[in-house]
Structure formats: C-alpha cells, structure tokens
Structure 1
Amino acid sequence: MATDEAGTGPVIRELRPQDWGPWYDNLIRAFGAVPEPAEERELWDALTEPTRSLGVWDGTECVGTAGAFSFRLTVPGGASVPAAGITMVSVAATHRRRGLLTAMMRRQLDDIRSWGEPLAVLTASEPDIYGRFGYAAGTFGLSAEIDTRRVRLSVPPGTDDVRLRYAVPAEVLDVCEAVYARRVPGRPGMLARQPGWERLGVLDPEESRDGGSPLQCVVAERDGEVTGYARFRTKLGWGPSGHDGTVTLVDLEGTDPATEAALWRFLFGIDLMARLVVRGRPVDEAWQFQVSDIRRCRLQLRDALYVRLVDVGAALGARTYQAPVDVVFEVEDAFCPWNTGRWRLSGDAKGAVCEPTTDAADLALTVRELGAAYLGGVSLTALGAAGRVRELREGALAEAAVGFGSPVAPWLPHGF
C-alpha cells in the first residue's frame, strides 16, 4: 500500500487537526453510522492527539483511522509505565482486504517503538483481529445483575463511620478524581489519567441514558475527608408485584474497604429499585464475598484490556515479581521481529532486568503469551496447559508463573 503522496493509491499520513472531522466520521460509519451526541463528539475531539493518530486517504476521502493515546499504565509493583492506548481503529467497508489495517498496525507499532514506549494496549471490538498483531487479553471485567430484593450485603467493621451525601457530579469532579488518582498505583491495569480525561466520567448525554435518570453521584466522607464516590443512574419500573426499578452503576472508587462497603450498601438499598446492574468491575472486588446469595447476582466475565509488548526487555524490566524469577524466554514475534530471540529475566519484588542472551531457553512462547501474563491476571501455568507455553527446563513454568502473579487482579477502569 502506498504511504506517500505519489497518487498511486491510499496514503497513510499523520492526522492534521483540520482533518479530524472527516477522520472521525469514517470511524463512526465503520461502527454502525449512529451519530454521537455533540458533547461526546466534542470530548473525543479534545482528547485526540493528532501527532499520534494516523489516517488513510484515498484522494480526498478518509478510508482508515487509527490513534494512540498517551497513557501511563500501572504494572505489578506499582510502577506507572508509558503505554500507547490504541484507539479509533477503522477501515471503510469500501476498502477492506487491501492491507490497510495491517499497514496502519505496522506504522503504529514502529512509531510506538520510536517513542520509547514499551507497551501498547487496546480494547478489542473483534479480538481475532488483534491477535494477528501480537495483542492478547491481559485483564477481565466482571459484570452482574444483582437481585437486591433477595440478596443481602454483609459489611466490614467501620462501614457505619462513613458518611454519604448526594452531590452534583460535575461539582465534585476534582475530589472524585483525587480519589481515583490515589487508587491508580494499587492495581495493575489502571490508567493514570491525563488532564481532560476526568470529563469522561461525567459525560451524560440524554441519548445515552436508555430511559434512565441523569447521572447521579454520592460522595463518601470520613473525618471530613472524601474517601470515595459512586456514579450511577436509576430507572423506575413497575411490575405485577410492585416496584421493579434498576440501578446502573457507572463508576465506583473507594480508598478503603469500609468506604467501598458503604457505597455498595447504599446502591443495594435505594428505594423502589429491584436490581443493581454493574459492568466491567474488578474480578476480585470484595462485594462478591459480602453478598448472601452469589447465584442471584448473575455473574458474567468478559475480556477487557489487550496488552502488546512493543519492547520485551523494557516491558518485563519495568514491573516487579512477587517471587524471585530467573528465567530465559525463547520469544517469537513475527510482527515485531526485534523482539524475537532469547531474553533472560531476573527479578523479584524490588525490581527486574531483562536482556538478550545466548543462554539455553527455559520457556518458549510468543509475544502474545507474554502480553496475556504481563499484568498478573493470566497464569503462565494455564497458558502452558493450553499448549501456548512450552517448558524446556523442568520446573521453570511453575517458578515463572508464581513470579508473574499479582496479589490483586488487574483491571481496566474505563474504555478508550
């Protein structure tokens, strides 16, 4: 595919600010052609980074899009690592099967490497597509529909010391964002938000409410300090047996277990509501172990953040390991061949080094398996049982799997 202005076919080039409109229109068309509310479109315009975004142009027509947000991602051990947030990827239906997507992925990963960012992450509309380019699911989200008329919640000591108050979401945005920032280092997969991203949490166009209320917010306080918040919508409903309303949780963060329990107890007890719907929550969140009947919570697990190691050595050296590791990986990476080869990883809870080596390999795998296991939510042992990791030295798989684990499950707090 042409990548210059020679007029020989579609051309990939960096996005110019004046081209954002047709660029974004192509994206919307590729995702069903349903127009977004003006305030949502304006927010994504403000968040788009033109110098990190690519467009494919066929003459004057935009036929492909791909962007890369500047993120910092929490990894096991608490470090905040630069990561390119791959987003807004589309190819016009008129230009499919011409290699445009592959060309954009090639250019994008080359750019990310040149920027010195060891990781690329995305949320996949079609996971099968991105596996070809080395991405693998590294975090999962838990969704539930809880029958709050029949499920009780047991709370830990100190919950009654937490005070809750209603607040206008936009008016408490700063204090809620401060709570979120305190939470980021404690869980792998969380994103340190750049200025402007906090607006995503209070985006509330009427068209997106599905008949529910405007966005509501309660703030949790203890000893005069804000320790948490919950944003949610309510939707009133009536059935043959009476009230049948729904609470939909949008966002919840608390800095301690008692605060989180107070917020969940509040959501369980809103008048005239019969169910609580939550989506994409951490898979190890405490409320699951506080409910009286987990079956009536209708749990569902779904893939969330896809991880791609752009620089194997830098990425593996950026995190820590919960048990000492000293392992040589034989890595295969067809799309980013600079990662192919043997890498010795030596590390523990204090730090790690990962460098090329000629030593005999202990484990053989592709860069996808490293991406899946990177944040500690997918076990290398499980990948080995699936035939995705080959053990070349007896005992090496179990040793590495323990080291790669995380005491808390990785979690993506919001999409992008």
Structure 2
Amino acid sequence: MGELRTRSLRADEAEAFFDVFSAAFLNDSLKSSGELYGPAFRMEHAHGVFDGDEMIGGAARLEQEITVPGPAQCPVGAVTGVGVAPGNRRRGVLTALMRAQLDALHENGTPIAALFASEAGIYGRFGYAPASFESHLVVPRGAAFLPTAEVDGRRVREVGREQGTEIAQACYSAAAAARTGWLSRSDGSWQARVLDWPAVRSDLSAPRFAVHPDGYVIYRAKRAWTPRGPAYQLHVAELVATTPQAYAALWRYLLDFDLVAEVHWRKAAIDEPVLDMLVDPRAVDRRVVDGLWVRLVDLDRALMTRRYAAPVDVVLDVTDRFCPWNEGRWRLRTDATGSTTAIRTEDAGQLSLDITDLAAAYLGGSALAALARSGRVVEHEPGALVATSRAFATDCAPHCQEGF
C-alpha cells in the first residue's frame, strides 16, 4: 500500500464520495445519497483520502449558521458524510479527514464545527463533545392535557408539500433565530428535509404537512392493524410553533388523530413543553440520548460569539491536543452589558479543562460544575467554578431537531 493523500474534492468526484459513504455504512441505498444531500453542500467543501487513485475515505461539511446562547448567530461547519471504506481501518484515514476539515475551518474563520456521531467513542479524540441532548418520545393517542394547557382554537389543516414547505420555511426561520442549537437552512437543506426518498421513507408514508397560523408539523404515518383494530403510528419529523398556544394545538392535532395509537418523535428536546402539559406524564415512553456534538475550532471567536447568563472574569487553562492554536491560558471576561472578550494571558489559570469540556458547556447542554464533579474540570481558585458555570448556563436546553 502506498502513501495516503488527503485533498479537497472536485464536483465530478461526488459519485465516488457517496460510494465510499455507502460502503462505510454497509447500506447500498446510500449510493444515491447525492439525490438527498447533494443540493445541500458543495463538493469543494468535502475532503477525500486516496490510496493511489482510489478514494478510501471521505468527509463533507455544510456551511450554515447555528443559534448560540444570546441568541446570536454563529457560522458552523456542519460535518456530514464521514466514512472510511471497509478494509482501510487503522490506517489513519479518519484522523487525516478530521485534520483537513478542522484546518480548513480554522483558515476560513469558522468558529465551531458540529456533527451527529454514529458511535459515541469516535469523536472525543478530535475535540468534539455532546453539546445537546434529545428525547425519543412515544406519546399515546388521546393523552390528556392539564387544564392549564391553553390550546389555540384556530384550525390546524393539512396542505400539500409545496404549500407546506413554503409555510414551514417562513415559520422555521423566525423560530430558529431564537432557539439555541437550531441551524439555518438553505434551499438544499429544505429539500433534504422533505424529499420523499425510498431510503428515508422505509415503511413510512410520504411526508405530510399540517399547518397552523403560528406553526407547523411535518410527519409520516406508519400503517398497522391489529385484531383489535387500527394502531397506526405518526412519526414526527419536526414540530415548530411560535407561540405556546400553537404548540399545544399542533400536539392536540396529532394526539387526536383517527386510527392512530401512538405519536413518535425521535428528535424532541429534553425539556419539550409537551412533557409538562400532560395529566399523566408517565404515559410517555421517553429515552434521552446525546444529540449534537460540537467542536470549538477557534476558542476565542467561539467564546466571544455567544452571550452569557451572568458577568464573569476567569482565566481558563485549556488543553487541546488536536488543534494546538487553542491551547494555553485564556481570560474570558464578560460584563452586564454583554460585552465579551477572550484573550491570551500569562496569569495563572483559575480553571483547568480540556477543549472538549468547553464544547460540552458551550450551548448550555452540560454544566461546568457537573463536569467538575466527574473530574473533568479542576478549580484552582475558590469560587471560579460556580461563577463560570452560571455564566455558561441557559434558560432552555439546547436542541437540534434535524440530522445531517
């Protein structure tokens, strides 16, 4: 085997890229992934590793914005399509791809990268950490609301895909700007969300759109009949509302659907309001899993982009083995007006932590104080940990309800 080479890909190498992706995930249907994902990213933002003329690894990114605490908008490299062809493990292919991606993001000034991890043990060594969590919810049909749940009385109606997409785009843009963890969407991203593609459909229906004047839900139906009658499932792709009353109306629409036994939502927030609206919350089958993984590409830019819950002045002693430009002592200072600086300093560190710990706390998904209890963050000056942990806290749990 010859020396491996890593480089940016050309537009005419898309087919080879998706062949590698398909082989890595042992899924032949992914060979046509370009139909689903192609409109959302450009091949020049993808990298490939080559053994001679053969591509044996690939990784791509979408150039989007993510809402960070504040709220504020921050450029993000949304990493996707990462795969190493079978028979090429333990050759440094993934490391080479991560190196090329992070170097490219550093050079173009993108402060953070984000991904969804196929296996939780892979990406920590490259500086990624779970920054949000999500709930897998199964809610039984007819679940009753508390009397305090106010349902908007305006009608929820079904519309076609074209009209539904248009309504959803406008509503999503307004909601995403205020919700930590939500991503901006290009036209290509929207196509990937609603495309009726066999590998995505599986045994579910084509996407259906139910809209309200202040929200919408995209869902798919799974048919099921039992000796006792129909037991369909509704699978929510996303539910967006700009008022609590519209949110309640959309949930009531789903829960009162004829023929349906259960409503499933695999990418709900861990503090999803519906959990606090039900008379019997135990009726919900709920499982919490890691969601979006974040990597701080440029620590100072990332820290200065978000806003903080309280003023803080702290020296962070940061380790970063994969991106050495982040390593060292940084003074993070933010005041009551929201003005924030993050600059290098020779002062003694008040907290010692790894770049992965900052990534975990960046969106507010994990508390630095909790990480300290597990030994990941070390306090050198009394009071520094509590003050910094409170500054990073957010009122709502970060959430990303789409995959990429």
Q: Counterpart in 2 of 1:90? A: 83
Q: 1 CA distance for matches of 2:352 and 2:15?
A: 46
Q: Given the alignment of the two structures, is residue 410 of structure 1 paired with residue 403 of structure 2, yes or no?
A: no
Distance in structure 2 (CA, Å) of the matches to 1:140 and 1:383: 15
* Unaligned stretches of 5+ residues in structure 2: none
Secondary structure of residue in 2 paired with 1:86: strand
TM-score normalised by length of structure 2: 0.96
Q: Give the conservation status (yes or no) of the 8 Å contact 1:233–1:248.
A: yes
Which residue number in structure 1 is paired with residue 212 of structure 2? 220
CA distance in 2, matches of 1:77, 1:274: 39
Contact 2:297/2:323 (8 A) holds in 1 = yes
Q: Aligned letter for 1:354?
A: A
> Which residue of 117, 121, 125 maps to 1:124?
117
Residue 393 to residue 219, structure 1, CA distance change in 2 (3 Å): same
TM-superposed CA distance for 1:274, in Å, is 1.0
Give yes or no for the alignment of 1:279 onto 2:266. yes
CA 235–106 in structure 1, closer or farther in 2 if over 3 Å, else same: closer
Determine if the alignment matches structure 1 residue 257 to structure 2 residue 248: no
AA aligned to 1:9 is E
Select 1:306's aligned residue among 293, 308, 315: 293
Aligned to 1:224: none
1:23 lines up with 2:10 in the alignment: no
Q: Would the aligned equivalents of 2:149 and 2:277 in 1 still touch at CA under 8 Å?
A: no
Contact 1:187 1:409 in 2 (8 A): no
Is 1:145–2:106 an aligned residue pair? no
Deviates more, 1:47-56 or 1:376-385: 47-56
Distance 1:37 1:120, change over 3 A: closer
Q: What is the aligned-residue RMSD (CA, Å)?
A: 1.7
Q: Which residue number corresponds to residue 357 of structure 1?
A: 345
On the 8 A contact 1:364/1:391 being kept in 2, the answer is: yes
Counterpart-to-counterpart distance in 1, 2:89 and 2:224: 44
Instruction: Say whether the 8 Å CA contact 2:141–2:257 is kept in structure 1.
Output: no
Q: Supply the AA of the counterpart residue of 1:28.
A: S
Instruction: Give 1:34's aligned residue.
Output: 28
What is the alpha-carbon distance in structure 1 between the residues aligned to residue 103 and residue 264 of structure 2? 41
C-alpha deviation, 1:281, in angstroms: 0.8
Separation in 2, partners of 1:170, 1:31: 32
Matched, 1:187 2:179: yes
Cα deviation for residue 138 of structure 1 reads: 0.1
TM-score (norm 1): 0.93
Tell me, in whole angstroms, the C-alpha distance in 2 between the residues paired with 1:139 and 1:219. 27
Moved more, 140-149 or 105-114: 140-149
Aligned length: 403
Equivalent position SS for 2:156:
strand
- Cα deviation for residue 206 of structure 1 reads 4.1
Q: Answer whether contact 2:18 2:31 (CA < 8 A) is retained.
A: no
Moved more, 317-326 or 166-175: 166-175
Which residue pairs with 2:322 in the alignment?
A: 335
User: After TM superposition, where is structure 1 displaced by more than 4 Å over at least 4 residues in a row?
Assistant: 155-158
| Letter aligned with residue 22 of structure 2 | I
State the distance in 2 between where 1:186 and 1:333 align.
31
Residue 87 of structure 2 aligns to which amino acid in structure 1?
T
Hey, what does 2:129 align to over in structure 1? 136
Choose from 281, 305, 309 the match for 1:322: 309
Q: 1:8: Cα distance to partner?
A: 4.6
Contact 2:39 2:189 in 1 (8 A): no
Q: Deviations over 1:75-121 (max 9, x none)?
A: 10011111111111111122211112111211211111000111111
Amino acid at match of 1:104: L
Unaligned stretches of 5+ residues in structure 1: 1-6, 222-226
Distance 1:30 1:199 in 2: 24
Name the CA distance, whole Å, in 1 between partners of 2:295 and 2:267: 21
Task: Give, in whole Å, the separation in 2 of the partners of 1:111 and 1:51.
Answer: 11
User: Is 1:37–1:207's contact at 8 Å kept on the other side of the alignment?
Assistant: no
1:66 aligns with 2:59: yes
Change (3 A) 1:88 1:213: closer
